[in-house]
Each structure stands twice: as C-alpha cells, then as structure tokens.
Amino acid sequence: MSMTSCSSDDDYPAVDDQAPVIQLTTDHIQTEPGRQFTIEGVAKDADGLKSITLENEGMNLDKTIDFLTYYPDTLLHEYSLSYHYTAGSEWKDGDQFPVKVTVEDVRGHQTETTVLVTPDGDFTAPTFTQAPSKELTVLLQNPKLNLTTAVADNKNLSYIVVSIPDLNVHDSVSISGTTYIYNKVYEMPQKEATYTMTVKVGDKFNNTATTTSTIKVSDLPDFDKMYLADVDDAADLTSDVYGVPMLIEHTGKYQYRALYYNQKAGTGVRFIPQKTDFQPICFGVDPTTGLLTSNPNVGQPIKLSKVGYYEIDFNTVTGEYDVKSYTPTTASLGILDGSQKIDFKDGSGAQAYEIVLAGSGLPGAPSWTTNPNNNAFVLYQDKNNPYRLYREMTLTKGTKISFTISVAHIWGWWPEPYWRFDGSDENEANKPNGGDNMKEMTVPADGKYLFEFDYALLRSRIIPVK
C-alpha cells in the first residue's frame, strides 16, 4: 500500500489533511473463467472522499467511481466498495491480474493498494463416480464389508473420510489428483445389526460431497430387488445414465428370474442386490460346487454361449440355477424403419411407422415432440432383433434428460403405443401405454452414449459407447 500527497484543493478545508485509508477484504481473489467475482473493501477519509479507481490492463479495466459526481449533495467520509467483474472465458489457471485500487480524497491525497486476481479457483464439488449403494447387506457367515468407492474432482482432491459412528470408524485419508479409488475391507461384528455409514470427499478448496448408506448385517435376506449385471468392471455399474444393472423379477421367496437378450456370444452375467458394486454380495457360479455362491471373490459369471433371449431362474439359498433359451411372446410391431405405414384414424393420414424418444435433453431434437418432420429423436431397429430399438448420441456432462418412448406422429400427438416408466427413482422398468413419467437423469460425463430399448423385456438404458 502506498500513500501520496498532491496539492490541496482549497474548496475543501482540511480536517486532518492525511491520506485516505483503504482496507480490502482480501489481497487475493481466486475465481474461474466466466465466473463473476467482487472486489470489496472499505475506504475512509476524514477530509472527504473524492474517488476510487480500479485499473488492470489485462482485464481491460479502468473504472473510476467519482463520488463528487455520484453524490453531489453529500461529502462521503466512508464508502463500502463492492465492484463486480466477470472473468474472461479465455482466462487460464496460470494467469495473474494485479488490480491497482487507488483512493483519492478531496485534498488530493492518494492511497494505492493491489488485489491479485487469479482464475485458478474451484467452485465445483467433487463427485462420486462409484458410490456405495444406499442399502448394503453384509452376511453373518462372512461379516466383511468390502468397500470400494471412486471419486473425482475438476481440479484437485484433498481428502476422503469414511465414518461408521456405531463402530467407532472414522478413517480419513489425504488424497490428491483428479481421481481416486478407495478400497478397504471392514470387519463387522458377527451379530445382526444395522449401521449408518457416510463417505465424504473434499477438494483443495473444501468443496465437499457426501453419500450415506445403511449397512445391514444379517442372514441372507430375501431381497426385494435383484439385478443382472452384464459388465465385468464395477465402474461400469455407475457410468451409465440409467438402466445398469438391470432389474429382474422376484418370483418367490429367495427365487428370481432374469429375462435377458444376449447380444454377443460368450457374455457373462452375475446377479447383485446392491446396484453400484459387486461387493459385498454377488451371485455367481462357485467353480467347486457348480452352484451359485453369494461370495463375490469366489463366484464366476454365468456364460451365455449364443446370441438370443435367455431365461435364468435361480434360488439364492440353495444356489440352484437353470439357464435356457426362449422366444418372446410379445407381439411384434413389425418393421419400424419408416417403410411400414400406419394410419391412426385421426385425420393425419398414413405415415411412417417409427418409434421416437420425445423429451428434453436429447441432442438435435426439440423438446417433447413426436413429429419426425420436426427432428423428433427417431430410433433405429436392430436388424437381428426386431424388439430391440437403439440410437447413439453425444451427450455433455450435467445435461438433464427425461423422455417418453413413443410412436411417431406427424402432428406431434401421442397415440399408442408408448412406454413410460415404473415410478422407481432410477427408471428400472418400462410400462406399455401407461406408467409414470421418467425421473430426470443427469449425464455423468462427456462422451458418446447408446440408448437401448427392448419392448419385449420392457427394459431400457443409456450406456457409454466404448
């Protein structure tokens, strides 16, 4: 900070004839490209304030606040500075912009100070790229929680904390970089109980994200929901927009049935009651007994040898399972590439029979239109499986997506057939000509994605294209 004295202004009598005082709230403002920030502080002077000037050539900033012009009837002795500025979108982390702030009083005295502006700030919270499921079951016969969670940050991670208060667990790990995978095995008391676990991650700017799970230690429960996983890597359970893993049917006590279309010979499938990891319970084939085991470290995927539809029935207590091919009985809609015509008998006339996604967040498509002449999001039909409809798309991280699967209509109407969803938070099943509106989903990362819908299975998903 510097002070200078110039020739006095005889129109204003001296009170103390001293240089003004300027106190900024900080000498370093960290922002980010495109973000508005504020230079704040308080200026004081007993003789009276004349002006404040803010200058930086790189910011194209040369702003003078002339108090004698703005307040012609009042001589200010104190002023709270609050100057807003939006960082340039082209600014880089390594850029530095020292802003000179000059206060002048009516006697000509000046005081200068500098605030450094840098675009290396971080205002984005870390994310869980693989979070523990909200409900976790640990079996009494193997009371171990194999915790795996993956986190990411746009700038730099700082720490991750795992807390299970009732077990006096408070594990804090210092981390760095933009990605981190936390792995640890927790020994649970061998008694039936329920525990709450929180996982918190923070970055260098102390932006945080937290997830909470309920851990239930018990004998093998009769799970209300079971899911089919056709991926090998646990990270692929959470890289989708929705639909992975796939909900299957609970047919009786400890009894489940999966109906699945196998697109590639040799695909392996396993079954999990928690959605985001193969731990702590995963049903696969025990190579020793040939039966299903719940131990994820032992069980191997069930290999499906042919392309086509499969029915897999299994019992989680006995481990017995049965795999067989089948042919769907759902009535075919025929050819859906536009060559087949349909007349809805509503005056719109014969038109191409196609299926579209009508909603929001779909690239290149207007919101909520079924009109193919208005760039509706038309789906393609698998040449080898008429029940499977698909389309690739490029999506941007953070985009909100929701839609209804519907037959196209040149007036933008919504005749049957259409498919909505089952009302679950993650859109786990489709409902023909009914159901609930889709829950809005958020794209987890930039990239190319594949939408798939099987109207025989009544399952759909959006997965990354690899």
**CATH code of the domain covering residue 260:** 2.60.40
Could you tell me if residue 202 is inside a domain?
A: yes
End-to-end CA distance of the chain: 57
| pLDDT at site 2 | 55
Domain ends where: 72, 101, 118?
118
Q: What are the start-end ranges of the E strands in 338-432?
A: 341-343, 350-352, 355-360, 377-378, 380-381, 388-395, 400-407, 418-421, 430-432
- pLDDT on residue 13: 86
Same domain (yes/no): 348, 460 = yes
Let me know if residue 21 belongs to a domain. yes
Convert the pLDDT of each residue in 297-344 to its tens digit. Answer: 899 999 999 999 999 999 999 999 999 999 999 999 999 999 999 999
Q: pLDDT (tens digit, 9 = 90+) per residue, 180-208?
A: 999 999 999 999 999 999 999 999 999 99
Whether residue 97 is found in the same domain as residue 156:
no
Q: How many domains does the chain have?
A: 4
> Quick check: 11 pLDDT over 90?
no
Query: Pairing state of beta strands 292-293 and 179-187?
Result: unpaired
Indicate if 60 and 36 belong to the same structural domain. yes
Domain range enclosing 357: 341-464
Residue 438 has pLDDT above 60, yes or no: yes
Q: How far is CA 211 from the centre of its chain?
A: 13
- The answer to whether residues 156 and 205 belong to one domain is yes
Work out the average pLDDT over 72-92.
96
Same domain membership, residue 457 and residue 350? yes
Within a domain: 41: yes
- Comparing C-alpha atoms, which of 22, 222, 38, 174 is closest to residue 105? 22
Look at residue 183 in the predicted model and tell me its pLDDT: 92
CATH code for position 362:
2.60.40.10
For residue 5, pLDDT over 90 is answered with: no
Q: Is the pLDDT of residue 16 over 80?
A: yes
Instruction: Answer yes or no: is 35 within a domain.
Output: yes
pLDDT digits (tens, 9 = 90+) for 101-138: 999 999 999 999 999 999 999 999 999 999 999 999 99
pLDDT at 8 over 50: no
Handedness of CA 362, 364, 365, 371 (dihedral sign): negative
Structure tokens of 381?
A: 């039909």
Burial (0-12, 13-18, 19+ Cβ within 10 Å), 207: middle
Q: What is the pLDDT of residue 7?
A: 43
Whole-number Å distance between alpha carbons of 22 and 267: 70
The domain boundary residue, chosen from 73, 92, 118: 118
Find the mean pLDDT for residues 394-418: 97
For residue 440, give the nearest of 407, 403, 411, 410 by alpha carbon. Answer: 403
Same domain, 320 and 393: no
Both 212 and 287 in a single domain? no
Contact (CB, 8 A) for 355 and 374: no
Whether residue 114 sits in one domain with residue 23: yes
Domain boundary among the residues 195, 218, 241 is at: 218
Domain shared by 139 and 109, yes or no: no
Q: What is the dihedral of CA 286, 292, 294, 300, to 10 degrees?
A: 50
Q: Are 380 and 277 found together in one domain?
A: no
**pLDDT at res. 1:** 59
Instruction: Evaluate if residue 348 carries a pLDDT over 90.
Output: yes
Q: Identify the band that residue 4 occupies on the pLDDT scale cut at 50, 70 and 90.
A: low
Q: Does the pLDDT of residue 265 top 60, yes or no?
A: yes
Check residue 14 and give its pLDDT: 86
Is the distance from CB of 148 to CB of 181 less than 8 angstroms? yes
Per-residue pLDDT for 371 more than 50? yes
**Average pLDDT, stretch 38-53?**
97
For residues 330 and 430, give the distance between their C-alpha atoms in angstroms, rounded to a whole number: 14
- Alpha carbon distance 464, 244 (integer Å): 11
Q: In this model, does residue 141 exceed pLDDT 70?
A: yes
